[in-house]
Amino acid sequence: MSDAAAIPAIKTLPDAQTVTSVTHWTDRLFSFRVTRPQSLRFRSGEFVMIGLIGDNGKPLLRAYSIASPAWDEELEFYSIKVPDGPLTSRLQHIRPGDEIILRPKPVGTLVHDALLPGKRLWFLATGTGIAPFASLMREPETYEKYEEIYMLHTCRTVAELEYGSQLVAGLKNDPLIGELVGDKLRYYPTTTREDSPLMGRITDNLESGKIFDHYSIAPMNPKDDRAMVCGSLAFNVDVKEVLEGFGLREGANSDPKEYVVEKAFVGDGI
């Protein structure tokens, strides 16, 4: 049973959804699944507002990428735990049976429609920025539209990669999507502050050509390559510069081009 004082019941709200499972990955990261409103339609890669009732009795909501694919009957989220964060200091204590608020209005730029057709698709993420790609890596359209998919995820430590690495490990044998995934998905997880088999920042590994050498492929070019980016503001700014250096241009839902970007979170003072 959960602590009723910590997670107030929100059954009276129309947008309440029930938590079905919670997994704690590190002291800073957890994932959870909730029931899906029957009416909710979204495109894999989009985000919604979720939250709890705040101390003032009003909804306390934050943007969250939906980490599950559009076909999943539940919704999955992958979350940071900010010690003093208004929402996550409390959200990290949710347990199965608890309820959260979920506003069923999905939006976002990390969607297939925002990219022109291409041959290779690059998912570039740091930290919890892997969440929209956890959705897109399980989306059939990803494998129908592209010949090769590269998932580059960078964290400070190995433990922070675990959610993504377990998800990828399970994909090939997934009864629904496994056959489509086949050998198309290439997962390149790196750390920057702890030794691991693959090391270094995504920006450095792209700029140096290390990643292209690793897979024995040609460097990025605007004809073949499409990219989706999700990380801290600093990461997004630096990756954009690298992608533009390869000749890729930023697109949007209304103006598809070669790459799209979304913030994984809004940093302090930004």
Choose the one of ligand FAD, ligand A2P, none that binds residue 238, judging by a C-beta under 5 to 8 angstroms depending on kind: ligand A2P
Dihedral of alpha carbons 193, 195, 196, 201, sign: positive
Radius of gyration of the chain (CA): 18
Count how many Cα atoms sit within 13 Å of the Cα of residue 76 in the half-sphere of its side chain. Answer: 26
Distance set, CA 36 to CA 69, 77, 131 (Å): 12, 12, 17
Q: Of residues 98, 225, 238, 258, which one binds ligand A2P by CB under 6 A? A: 238
In 143-254 the beta strands, taken as DSSP E runs, fall at 148-155, 185-191, 225-231
One residue of 44, 203, 258, 262 binding ligand A2P per CB under 6 A: 203
For 245, the token pair is: 């250096």
Place of tokens 């049973």: 1
Structure tokens at 232: 């801290």
Which residue type occupies 48?
A: V
- Number of residues forming the site for ligand FAD (CB under 6 A): 24
Q: Does 256 bind ligand FAD (CB under 6 A)?
A: no
Q: Please state the φ and ψ torsions of residue 176, each to the nearest 5 degrees.
A: -85, -40
Tell the smallest beta-carbon distance from residue 85 to ligand FAD (Å). Answer: 2
- Which of the choices ligand A2P, ligand FAD, none does residue 219 contact, using the CB cut-off of 5 to 8 A by kind? none
* 87 binds, options ligand A2P, ligand FAD, none, Cβ within 5 to 8 A by partner type: ligand FAD
Q: Which of 169, 234, 252, 266 binds ligand A2P (CB under 6 A)?
A: 234
Between CA 180 and CA 158 the distance in angstroms is 28
Q: Does 267 bind ligand FAD (CB under 6 A)?
A: yes
Taking CB under 6 A as the rule, does residue 142 contact ligand A2P? no
Q: Which does 131 bind (CB under 5 to 8 A by kind): ligand A2P, ligand FAD, none?
A: ligand FAD
Report the site for ligand A2P in 119-138 (rule: CB under 6 A).
126-127
Q: Which two tokens stand for residue 263?
A: 């913030």
Task: Decide if residue 232 touches ligand A2P (CB under 6 A).
Answer: yes
- Order across the sheet with 225-231: list the strands: 185-191, 148-155, 120-126, 225-231, 259-263
**Is position 47 an interface residue for ligand FAD (rule: CB under 6 A)?**
yes
Residues at the contact surface with ligand A2P, assessed by CB under 6 A: 126-127, 154-156, 192-193, 201-203, 232, 234-235, 238
Residues at the contact surface with ligand FAD, assessed by CB under 6 A: 47, 62-65, 78-80, 82, 85-89, 127-128, 131, 262-268
